[in-house]
Amino acid sequence: MPVQRYLIVNADDFGQSQGINRGIIESFENGIVTSASLMVRWPAAVEAAAYARAHPDLSVGLHVDLGEWAYRNCDWTQLYQVVEKNDSAAVAKEVSRQLSLFRSLLGAEPTHIDSHQHVHRSEPICSLLVDVARRLNIPLRLYSQVRYCGEFYGQMEDGAPLWNNISVEALVSLLAHLSPGITELACHPAHHVDFDTMYADERLREREVLCDKRVGEFVANEDIQLCSFHIVAGAQV
């Protein structure tokens, strides 16, 4: 008997703007999104948290936010910085602050941890978040038993569009090749663009694809079990 394939479809940047919130909510209610990662620093995080509290089936993790970069005019530009990423003490303090704010907003612990623009792939952030994930006994993206898939993404590193990557056909192909076990598929849906980022209009396409009936039908026909991070408690680093 084949091993079951479980799929967590996690939407990043929940709480960054109302347009992102609405896109994630629509993709959860009408599409295949099952989970989200909350950016607690932004005003729209209050709205996102209220929705999450009212919909406990949506697992919500902490999307650690230390800043954002964008590739513009042939160079990388920092849109904002929360703390210096190489300052261990400052990072630790900010992560603790964001975790406390998450608990205040949700009234619960995060179901998982990841970071904005994957800054936790480098030190000292990596070690700090590994430690937090171990203490909370929750998965940290890229460092847990949950396999990570970031291929549903519509840009190259320099911002050049890859629209074919975020088509119905591309997503169905990704799902067709899922390995047995638990996979996290990252996504970034939005309903409208009301935020400053290099990844903007692509989010609108993502929402359309995630809510496309053909995708949901394929998941059902392939016997892929949609789930959230609620089922992987203890699958920590």
Which positions are annotated as active-site residues? 12
Strand duo 59-64 + 35-38: pairing? parallel
Between CA 188 and CA 221, with CA 28 as vertex, the angle to 5 degrees is 100
Exposure string for 140-168, b = 16+ CB within 10 A, e = fewer: bbbbbebbbbeebbbbeeeeeeeeebbbe
Strand ranges inside the chain, DSSP E: 5-14, 35-38, 59-64, 67-72, 75-81, 113-115, 147-149, 181-187, 224-227
Which residues contact residue 55 at a Cβ distance below 8 angstroms, ignoring those fewer than 6 apart?
Answer: 28
- Please check whether residue 228 is in contact with residue 35, taking contact to mean a CB–CB distance below 8 angstroms: yes
